[in-house]
């Protein structure tokens, strides 16, 4: 069985540049194993640290986790990142989002009208060459989203876009596949 190989080395705590190791050890301390995406980012300590800080700050923002997950799903679908979609579908389920809502989020929609309004704003952000139409910004405010939450939404779009670009440019294999490949090569 041949496994997909990343265009970038997928590092772990033994192969990563020294300045990436503390971030990787922190990620491992949470349990489980490193994702291939984090392993790729470890090739640049500055990029890994910037991603970790950006993601951490946004996770502790004012947007509910389910909203963050919906935004990420929509962006990953738009970006065409199979790696990121696979990961997000799992984490969205863990966050309590049903399969029907996952499918809707991938289409910039939700049964919850407040969420749907914000996802339409996200779609406009991604599709627009300039500022999204002002009426979508106003609709988000009228639906109860604060300026703080709208700014965080924009930041989540940027984070999701970054993730999609890296996973597509690096042809990053789905998690587990790199380990399977290492085990096959060792045999």
List of residues 6+ apart from 153 with CB closer than 8 A: 63, 67, 71, 118, 121, 122, 140, 145
Confidence at residue 162, expressed as pLDDT on a 0 to 100 scale: 96
Phi and psi dihedrals of 133, rounded to 5?
-55, 140
Q: What is the distance between the alpha carbons of residues 175 and 166, in angstroms, rounded to a whole number? A: 15
| List of the chain residues with pLDDT < 50 | 1-3, 177-187
Question: Half-sphere exposure of 82 toward its Cβ, with a 13 Å CA cutoff?
Answer: 7
Digit-coded pLDDT (tens) for 155-186: 999 999 999 999 999 999 988 644 443 333 33
CB 4 within 8 A of CB 184: no
Confidence at residue 175, expressed as pLDDT on a 0 to 100 scale: 84
- Helix axes 65-79 and 82-94, enclosed angle (nearest 10): 160
pTM across the whole model: 0.88
Confidence at residue 174, expressed as pLDDT on a 0 to 100 scale: 87
Query: What is the C-alpha R_g of the chain?
Result: 18
Which two three-digit tokens encode residue 75? 């962006």
Does the domain spanning 65-169 belong to CATH 1.20.1290.10?
yes
Confidence at residue 28, expressed as pLDDT on a 0 to 100 scale: 86
Q: What is the distance between the alpha carbons of residues 124 and 134, in angstroms, rounded to a whole number? A: 10
Q: What is the distance between the alpha carbons of residues 95 and 131, in angstroms, rounded to a whole number? A: 31
Domain regions of the chain by residue span: 8-60, 65-169
Confidence at residue 4, expressed as pLDDT on a 0 to 100 scale: 67
């Amino acid at each position: 069985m041949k496994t997909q190989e990343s265009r970038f080395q997928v590092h772990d705590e033994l192969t990563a540049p020294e300045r990436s190791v503390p971030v990787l050890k922190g990620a491992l301390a949470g349990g489980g194993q490193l994702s291939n995406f984090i392993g790729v980012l470890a090739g640049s300590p500055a990029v890994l640290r910037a991603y970790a800080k950006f993601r951490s700050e946004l996770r502790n923002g004012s947007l509910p986790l389910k909203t963050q997950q919906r935004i990420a799903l929509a962006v990953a679908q738009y970006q065409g990142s199979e790696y990121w979609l696979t990961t997000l579908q799992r984490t969205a389920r863990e966050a309590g989002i049903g399969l029907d809502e996952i499918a809707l989020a991938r289409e910039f929609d939700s049964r919850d009208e407040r969420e749907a309004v914000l996802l339409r704003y996200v779609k406009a952000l991604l599709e627009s060459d300039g500022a999204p139409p002002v009426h979508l910004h106003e609709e988000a405010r009228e639906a109860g989203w604060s300026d703080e939450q709208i700014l965080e939404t924009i930041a989540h779009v940027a984070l999701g876009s970054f993730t999609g670009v890296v996973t597509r440019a690096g042809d990053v294999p789905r998690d587990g596949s790199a380990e399977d490949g290492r085990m096959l090569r060792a045999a």
